[in-house]
Structure 1
Amino acid sequence: MDTSAPSGLGEATDEPPELDVHLWFLNLGTIHMGFAPEKEGIFIFKHTNYVVESKNRQCTVVRRYSDFCFLLGVLEKIYPFRMLPQLPPKRLGVADETFLGRRLRGLTRFMNALIRHPVLRNNPLIVSFLTEPVEFATWRKNTVISTEDEFASLLPMSAVLARQIPANIKLQLELIKRRLPGSIEYYRGMVHVMDRIQKRIETNAADYTRFSLALNALADCEKQCHVEECYSCGQLSQGYNKIGSHTSQSSLLLEEQGIAIQQGVVEDLKRHRDLLVSLLELLQRRDRNNFFFLSQTLTKRIESNDIKLKNAQASVTSGPQDVNPGQFESMTEKLASSIAAEQDELKTQEQRSILLQHTLWMEIMYYHKNQAQVAIMYQNFVHEQIKTSQRLTDNWSSLSPLVHDLPMESNGFS
């Protein structure tokens, strides 16, 4: 089986290619992940397996962390100028539950970023990663995996692509690059703050549970008054149970709110933060690429060999009689052949440079369209806050008449 990467540029036309964003948003796949029931390995060297479920493809596979590392390594070779997501970090030694939970969420964001990208999602290796039922290391041994970069299949390039690139592409890239570091830091700060908010909600939920348990215990302790004919203390005792029940319900609502925040706005903030980091790393790779310098080197070499060729040709016609003409003819043939090969290579590098610009343009279009997901994130966050606030209000409102019916007259405790 060959897993060569398909091109994401499509057919070349005079009209600029458009991302069908509406259709793309409607068909966004979702990857769900969890821990496999049992760890594999021996003693302290046991490793965690992850269950990867693709709803759109209706398949479930089991993968190791090293499988994700291999996948990213191949994608980095095929798509050097695409926004590739980051993997959560490795850890030496025994990993605790907190670390494994963070890694699971990080791997989930990694896979969802891949299948939401309009080009990467169709890569055959990613499809196999999500669908091959066997152990991935075993599948790799029996599969030819191409690591040829995506530009190779597009050469020779259609001249139309060059006309599709906006004239201000460099300015757009520079503006994005200038603001990315600040945006990333702000998102990191917001993730940190929202994490703290979520933890405080969890703490409040736990405190409400403690208060509820204390009230129920108090009701049991004080259900019988030392005054034989006292009914008010019994009513108070029953009221403790009712207040405790509503307090316990508030605890459950806060727990649900904490989970919703963790799985919702916190993960959404991290997803967009990861997108910004991927774009910044892409632009940094662009700055390190040697297309321009290689073209300069080839141009200088062609000019130098062209001068040598002219000198050699002149020597053939006007050189000394005792010089062997065949020697100069052989030299001119080698120089001419070298110049032709270098001119072909220069043309290839120039075309790759255009493909690079075109790919970068497509990537920043994709990044820009993702701003719509930010709006959706805050809509969902506000909706969840309203829903929880309403449910908490309803819970306390239903308790209000009960506490107002509790005995308040001092004569009742005479």
Structure 2
Amino acid sequence: MVVRRRTVAWEGELRPLLSMAGSVPPYYREVYEAICCKREDRVQRNVFHTLLNRTELPTAVQNQIAEIIECKEEPISRSVLYKALVLIAFAQQGKQPSAKLLENVTQDFPKPELGAPGELEAVRMQAQANPILVCRSLPELMAIDTVEVELIPEKKGLFLKHVEYEVSSQRFKSSVYRRYNDFVVFHEVLLQRFPYRMVPTLPPKRMLRVDREFIESRRRALKRFANLVARHPFFSEDELLQVFLSFSGSDVQNKIRESFRGVGDEFMTCEIATTAKDLLPPDIQAQFGASRELIRNIYNSFHKLRDRAERMASRSADNATDLLLFGKELSTLGSDTTPVPSWASVTSNTWGLLRQALRGLSVEFALLADKSAQQGKREEEEVVEKLSIFLDLLQSYKDLCERHEKGVLHEHQRALQKYTSMKRQMMSVTVQSKEPLSVEQLESRIVQQENAILNMELRNYFSMYCLHQETQLIHIYLHITSHVLTAFIDSQIQGHREMCEVWNDLKPKLGCLLPNGTPSPPVSPRPGAWHNPSTFFPQ
């Protein structure tokens, strides 16, 4: 019902654009007829995304068009597709897509360059005939939703303090309060609904000796978990996610359990579950083994990268602390009020001049400390967190592979062993010519076991089907590497540039510390100084 109201609302928005039926070019109708699903009289989202990719427009422009028409949650109607075609045509002309462009369209609809309708029908058939393919890019996945998880002021229970989080979703335009145990229930039900998908793990609860650092680390981990789930191409379409992110009642745990009690897992609800075998490549087992080995190696390398990035961010923070303390010590020296003995200042007032100069240096060192701290924070948020979210995804893939082997495969093997045992027992009973009732009971049990084996085989193939898709998802997320490296390089450039500016501002202030501007002696000996020791002690 909600979906229908939204569609009607969009068509109402487009009515001024489409008020003159004769102004819609035949090409627009031909495109719609070529790519729409005949059964639903709508364009499926994966078909539309394939059409967008065909335009060869930059990914950012494609995302803008998809965002303007809001094609994230439902199939696309005729009028909304016409709106998208207008934006595509303008973008191909070099114009920036925007809702305002549509307001200026009256009679002359621009024609997008998409190819002949016959070619577009092939696009639809290709997209619909290959449901095993995940036709999404990393920017498209990121655009599905952005979830923020923030700490709210600490509350006290009857006996223990507990931490609460404000969870907000851009997609659902919602903001709700959640406790850690709410995440636990959501995770449990999600795993029951999607046992053959990559379900990220939750951070540990750790009830005893919970300090501020642990709470912040857990908040970041919960945010990564929420975004990975919200941006998953299959989780994002399930009602369970919407309940968790938008239900504002007092007991979300009970709401989740009651709403999805008795609902089968993905195998029971997916239309193609029983035909998944026909969609798999013939060498799927070999591909699975190779992919698992590759992703294990990728995980190990990214784990080391994340550890090094954490150490670099930590060093920036430590450097900030050292610079601040260095400046404070200079300030302490400059503020020393101990009287200077007269015999020590007979020929010069070095200590007085030095104190005056040192008092002013602490400000610059505080600024240096601030710049170093900012660099450490940038690297923590933009480098370490991006590496961590990819590692969380890789870990969930490893967990999925273990579930596949220890769950589906082992259950299938046990069912086959049980079936073999029954067949032997049946043969023994037949040979010994026992009572007909015993034979009938065994036959009934064998039939039941055959059905169980068939179900296990179908689940095994569906599990491989899901693994195939989840492997594609891992490779889509591999593009995060370029984002990580770009963020790291930009942070280093910005940090060194800002620090260099402060150091350059600081250097002229040292002039008063040197008598008559005399340069300081070199720390290391000059070339050839070893042959002339007197150069170490200038006269």
Q: Shorter-chain-normalised TM-score: which range?
A: 0.7 to 0.9
Select 1:395's aligned residue among 477, 485, 502: 502
Change (3 A) 1:150 1:9: farther
The question of whether the paired residues in 1 share the 8 Å contact of 2:511 and 2:517 is answered with: no
> In the alignment, what sits opposite 2:278?
163
1:98-247 alignment, distance < 5 Å: 98-137=213-252, 139-140=254-255, 143-146=258-261, 147-154=263-270, 157=273, 159=275, 161-221=276-336, 236-237=354-355, 239-247=357-365
2:370 partner letter? L
> In the alignment, what sits opposite 2:150?
34
Change (3 A) 1:188 1:17: closer
The separation in 1 between residues aligned to 2:517 and 2:231, in whole angstroms, is: 67
Change (3 A) 1:270 1:18: closer
SS at the partner of 1:56?
Answer: coil
> In the alignment, what sits opposite 1:373?
480
The separation in 2 between residues aligned to 1:39 and 1:237, in whole angstroms, is: 50
Change (3 A) 1:222 1:409: farther
**1:18, distance to aligned residue in structure 2 (A):** 3.0
**1:143, distance to aligned residue in structure 2 (A):** 3.6
The separation in 1 between residues aligned to 2:164 and 2:352, in whole angstroms, is: 56
The question of whether the paired residues in 2 share the 8 Å contact of 1:235 and 1:407 is answered with: no
2:379 partner letter? I
The separation in 2 between residues aligned to 1:85 and 1:42, in whole angstroms, is: 32
1:261-276 alignment, distance < 5 Å: 261-276=379-394
- Are positions 1:62 and 2:169 aligned together? no
> Residues 86-130 of structure 1, C-alpha deviation per residue, up to 9 Å, x if partnerless?
111122434122222222222222212211221122322222111
The question of whether the paired residues in 1 share the 8 Å contact of 2:147 and 2:168 is answered with: yes
The separation in 1 between residues aligned to 2:491 and 2:353, in whole angstroms, is: 37
Change (3 A) 1:254 1:177: same
The question of whether the paired residues in 2 share the 8 Å contact of 1:62 and 1:135 is answered with: no
The separation in 1 between residues aligned to 2:348 and 2:254, in whole angstroms, is: 78
> In the alignment, what sits opposite 1:350?
457
Q: TM-score, normalised by structure 2?
A: 0.62
**1:389, distance to aligned residue in structure 2 (A):** 0.8
SS at the partner of 2:162?
Answer: coil
SS at the partner of 1:389?
Answer: helix
**1:37, distance to aligned residue in structure 2 (A):** 0.9
**1:403, distance to aligned residue in structure 2 (A):** 3.0
The separation in 2 between residues aligned to 1:397 and 1:198, in whole angstroms, is: 24
The separation in 2 between residues aligned to 1:48 and 1:12, in whole angstroms, is: 46
The question of whether the paired residues in 1 share the 8 Å contact of 2:154 and 2:161 is answered with: no
The separation in 2 between residues aligned to 1:222 and 1:177, in whole angstroms, is: 69
SS at the partner of 2:218?
Answer: helix
2:266 partner letter? E
1:331-342 alignment, distance < 5 Å: none
Change (3 A) 1:154 1:295: farther
Identify which range, 169-178 or 67-76, moves more after superposition: 169-178
> In the alignment, what sits opposite 2:369?
251
**1:26, distance to aligned residue in structure 2 (A):** 4.8
The question of whether the paired residues in 1 share the 8 Å contact of 2:175 and 2:245 is answered with: yes
> Residues 169-214 of structure 1, C-alpha deviation per residue, up to 9 Å, x if partnerless?
2222212333555544444444344333323222221121122223
> Residues 35-59 of structure 1, C-alpha deviation per residue, up to 9 Å, x if partnerless?
221323124x222112222233332
Select 1:293's aligned residue among 406, 409, 413: 413
Q: TM-score, normalised by structure 1?
A: 0.79
Select 1:46's aligned residue among 161, 167, 177: 161
The question of whether the paired residues in 2 share the 8 Å contact of 1:202 and 1:254 is answered with: yes
> Residues 206-262 of structure 1, C-alpha deviation per residue, up to 9 Å, x if partnerless?
121122223334334479998799898776555434432221111000111111122
Percent of aligned pairs sharing the same letter: 23
The question of whether the paired residues in 1 share the 8 Å contact of 2:353 and 2:512 is answered with: no
The question of whether the paired residues in 2 share the 8 Å contact of 1:24 and 1:118 is answered with: no
Two-structure CA RMSD over aligned residues (Å): 3.9
SS at the partner of 1:83?
Answer: coil
SS at the partner of 1:409?
Answer: helix
SS at the partner of 1:84?
Answer: coil
Select 1:90's aligned residue among 205, 208, 217: 205
Count the aligned residue pairs: 387
**1:358, distance to aligned residue in structure 2 (A):** 0.8
The separation in 2 between residues aligned to 1:183 and 1:138, in whole angstroms, is: 36
SS at the partner of 1:34?
Answer: strand
Gaps of 5+ in 2: 1-44, 48-126, 519-539
The question of whether the paired residues in 1 share the 8 Å contact of 2:46 and 2:135 is answered with: no
Gaps of 5+ in 1: 1-7, 316-326
Identify which range, 91-100 or 375-384, moves more after superposition: 91-100
The question of whether the paired residues in 2 share the 8 Å contact of 1:31 and 1:54 is answered with: yes
> In the alignment, what sits opposite 1:323?
none
2:393 partner letter? L
The separation in 2 between residues aligned to 1:141 and 1:85, in whole angstroms, is: 18
**1:286, distance to aligned residue in structure 2 (A):** 0.8
